[in-house]
Chains A and B, each alone.
Chain A
Amino acid sequence: MTVRLALVGAPNAGKSTLFNGLTGGRAKVANYPGVTVETRAGRFRTPAGAEVELIDLPGVYGLSARSMDQRVALDVIAGKLDAEAPPDALLVVIDAAQLRTHLHTVLQIRALGRPMLVILNMIDLADRDGVKLDVAALETRLGVPVVTSRATRAPGREALLARLDAELPNLTAPARSSGSLDLKALQAESRDMASDVILFEPPMNRITRAVDGVVLNPLAGPFVLAAILFLMFQAVYAWANAPMDLIDAGAAALGDFARSTIGVDWLASLVADGIIAGVGSVVIFLPQIVILFTFILMLEASGYMARAAFLMDDLMLRVGLNGRAFIPLLSSFACAIPGMMSARTIESERDRLTTILIAPLMTCSARLPVYTLIVGAFIPRDQVGVFNLQGIVMFGLYLTGVVSAVTVAFVLKRTVTKGQAQPLIMELPTYKLPAVKDFAIELWRRAAAFLKRAGTIILGASVVLWFLASYPASATTLRESFAGRIGAVLEFVLAPIGFNLEISIALVPGMAAREVAIGALGTVYAVQASEENTAGLAATLQSAWSLPTALAFLAWYVFAPQCLATLATARREMNSWAWTGFMFGYLVALAYVAAGATYWVATWAGL
């Protein structure tokens, strides 16, 4: 018999960390309000051998569902979700150091009359601050079992597991609850309880206070935020160079090795030009993606992300959005998919819709390979003052995305997604160091997802494209190949904005995922160049493309919605084909116009 338990509680109480700790599993851990947007289930066995299925729910402060993820949490607790029976019991998690503020959340949940066990989590941090609690008294007053826990460490979870074994057979509905849902009355009751239970309560966490003195300072705060973002993007380029060179050299050596050892000509071409050139030109960007996600995960887990949202609130408000929208948008720099999903914490449907619609304009990590390749090949490494010209162009591409997003949001909020400005009421969590194991699990998930794409979609696209570009065998030029015939149709549309046949061909598989286009270009040019292709893709492009074409290609990539996974996610999150079509349409239109304008201005300027 498996017991089903659900983790319930306020955001930032450490539910996801406890989930990861108990199940060794993979729920997303972050430290800003409400990041756990999907209910994730995992399994574990108690020391006495009971099988437990554990469900991790989005954070709730009370029983009124304001945002989409809160609705999910409350529906699961109440057993309203069609497919699922309600969990057998609730594990109500609360931050031990914030008991006075959050105890009324426990009372609200208790009023539902479900079997429950209360977990005073992060007890180590409460101890360190000097908070003294009478746990036995709390248990008596609440009439349900209460246990302390430190979710990040196995010894910190022992008391919880032991108590689970003791209570599982007799976890029943709390008898003492009056069943009243009046918030004011529950608050009064909880404050009264807190006075009995909290033996000593020191002032707020000193470190958090000191750090916020700088980070939230009205003058210094915005500079700190800008510096963190600058460092993040700088790191992505500067720190990734050495490992990228290593991967590049490795792929080239592997290709040469394959060419020289495989006796059959067509097979050697498939392996070296199709698979190794295609997949290798994408895998090379793994170091950049790992660095980017490292930053974003650190910002989330440390507690800074909510501060960033607070600092950005005024700017976001001017656009018509809420500071909370900054979090999904910043995540979208890594990938629009988790970005769109974390928009579920936004309470206003219209704001959520707007945020999803502009998320693809944030320069995601899949565009990095494209930008890096083209900028590296076409923009000289000249110094302009203290800056590097390549760096300036790269920054300009990111900035164009952000400015376009702001403009689009501004227009949308005044036309199709018009609505009242939403209040901002958001808890800023106490700063903490991310737990190493949690962090490693989360980073590995991101890297693995990227490699899996390289190994499946990109590998598949590379092989198919190699075939289309190499056959029929009678074809002597690329234009006569199958790929050339398909590309020629697109070329007709794309030639006015400066795109040649090779680009037109590469954009077809590039619809599946942006970085595939790079692998596709690698394959197309590798096939054309026959065996002797040691110059590398960047050098090949330098001789094959004009500068205006390269710039137009970059401009195209700022806007073009070339990612099936993003479109599918947008469709699911907005639950509307019409809005998804609108998103696709406006992005394609912007891409076409931007690329065309870039091409013609650059040509006219004689570049």
Chain B
Amino acid sequence: MTLHELEIGRAAWVAAIAEDDPDLAAKLREIGFAENDEVEVMHAGPLGATGVCVRLNRTLIALRAGEAAAIRVRGARASG
């Protein structure tokens, strides 16, 4: 599944970052997304907006659904 399909309040690990858009992949990696990092969707955007606010390790990152869909995750579980 991808990060944007992850329910709010469930943590997971980054399995892979899709490379089909190399520029987007590089952007996601630069801000910090990497394989085996812990992620959790913390907040959805307001009023049906497509944005999500994601916890990456101890860092908060805002992105849109389209960008979040490029991050594959595994091992979804209830956040501790």
Residues of A within 8 A of B (CB): 61-62, 64, 66, 97-98, 100-102, 104-105, 129, 131, 183-184, 187-188, 190-191, 201, 203-205, 208-209, 212, 216-219, 221-222, 306, 309-311, 313-314, 323, 423-430
Contact B47 A222 (CB under 8 A): yes
Contact B45 A218 (CB under 8 A): yes
- The answer to whether residues A98 and B59 also contact, given A187-B34, A313-B64, A423-B66 and a CB cut-off of 8 A, is yes
A425 to B37, CA, bound (A): 17
Chain A to chain B contacts (Cβ below 8 Å), 30 pairs: A61-B30, A64-B26, A64-B30, A98-B58, A100-B57, A101-B58, A101-B59, A102-B32, A104-B34, A191-B37, A203-B58, A204-B58, A205-B58, A212-B42, A212-B53, A216-B42, A218-B44, A218-B49, A221-B46, A306-B62, A310-B53, A310-B62, A314-B48, A425-B27, A425-B31, A426-B61, A426-B62, A426-B63, A427-B62, A428-B61
- The answer to whether residues A104 and B60 also contact, given A216-B42, A311-B46, A428-B53 and a CB cut-off of 8 A, is no
CB contact between A201 and one of B32, B35, B58, B60 (< 8 Å): that residue: B58
Contact A188 B43 (CB under 8 A): no
A221 to B43, CA, bound (A): 10
Return B44 CB to nearest CB of chain A, in Å.
5
Contacts of A216 in B (CB 8 A): 42-43, 53
Which residue of B is nearest A98, CB measured? B59
Contact B58 A62 (CB under 8 A): no
The interface residues of chain A, by DSSP majority, are classed as helix
Contact B60 A313 (CB under 8 A): no
Contacts of A209 in B (CB 8 A): 42
Q: Which residues of B from 1 to 58 have beta carbons under 8 Å from A?
A: 24, 26-32, 34-37, 42-51, 53, 55-58
Contact A100 B62 (CB under 8 A): no
Q: A61-B30, A222-B46, A426-B63 are in contact. List 12 more A-B contacts (CB 8 A).
A: A101-B32, A105-B30, A188-B35, A205-B58, A212-B60, A217-B43, A218-B44, A310-B45, A424-B51, A424-B64, A425-B61, A427-B31
Contacts of A66 in B (CB 8 A): 27
Contacts of A212 in B (CB 8 A): 42-43, 53, 60
Contacts of B45 in A (CB 8 A): 218, 310-311, 313-314
Return B80 CB to nearest CB of chain A, in Å.
7
Contact A61 B26 (CB under 8 A): no
Which residue of B is nearest A423, CB measured? B67
Return A516 CB to nearest CB of chain B, in Å.
41
Contacts of A425 in B (CB 8 A): 27-28, 31, 61-63, 67
CB contact between B55 and one of A102, A129, A204, A221 (< 8 Å): that residue: A204
Return A193 CB to nearest CB of chain B, in Å.
12
Return A486 CB to nearest CB of chain B, in Å.
52
Which residue of A is nearest B56, CB measured? A101
Sorted from nearest, which 4 A-B pairs have the closest CB atoms? A314-B49, A101-B32, A62-B30, A187-B34
Contacts of A311 in B (CB 8 A): 45-46
Which residue of B is nearest A347, CB measured? B27
Contact A424 B62 (CB under 8 A): yes
A429 to B59, CA, bound (A): 8
Contacts of B35 in A (CB 8 A): 184, 187-188
Contacts of B37 in A (CB 8 A): 100-101, 191
- The answer to whether residues A427 and B24 also contact, given A183-B30, A314-B51 and a CB cut-off of 8 A, is no
Contacts of B29 in A (CB 8 A): 62, 104, 183-184, 187
Contact B61 A104 (CB under 8 A): no
A305 to B27, CA, bound (A): 21
- The answer to whether residues A218 and B47 also contact, given A61-B30, A204-B58, A425-B27 and a CB cut-off of 8 A, is yes
Return B6 CB to nearest CB of chain A, in Å.
16
Contacts of B62 in A (CB 8 A): 306, 309-310, 313, 323, 424-428
Return A67 CB to nearest CB of chain B, in Å.
11
Contacts of A129 in B (CB 8 A): 58
A191 to B53, CA, bound (A): 22
A249 to B60, CA, bound (A): 50
Return B58 CB to nearest CB of chain A, in Å.
5
Return A132 CB to nearest CB of chain B, in Å.
13
Contact B31 A424 (CB under 8 A): no
Contact B47 A314 (CB under 8 A): yes
Contacts of B66 in A (CB 8 A): 423
CB contact between A314 and one of B26, B50, B59, B61 (< 8 Å): that residue: B50
Most B CB contacts (10 A, CB to CB) among A217, A426, A430 go to A426
- The answer to whether residues A219 and B46 also contact, given A184-B29, A425-B31, A425-B63 and a CB cut-off of 8 A, is yes
- The answer to whether residues A218 and B46 also contact, given A310-B53, A313-B64 and a CB cut-off of 8 A, is yes
Contact A98 B49 (CB under 8 A): no
Return B36 CB to nearest CB of chain A, in Å.
7
Contact B50 A100 (CB under 8 A): no
Which residue of A is nearest B61, CB measured? A427
Contacts of A424 in B (CB 8 A): 51, 62-64, 67
A313 to B67, CA, bound (A): 14
Which residue of A is nearest B36, CB measured? A191
Contacts of A306 in B (CB 8 A): 62
Return B23 CB to nearest CB of chain A, in Å.
9
Return B59 CB to nearest CB of chain A, in Å.
4
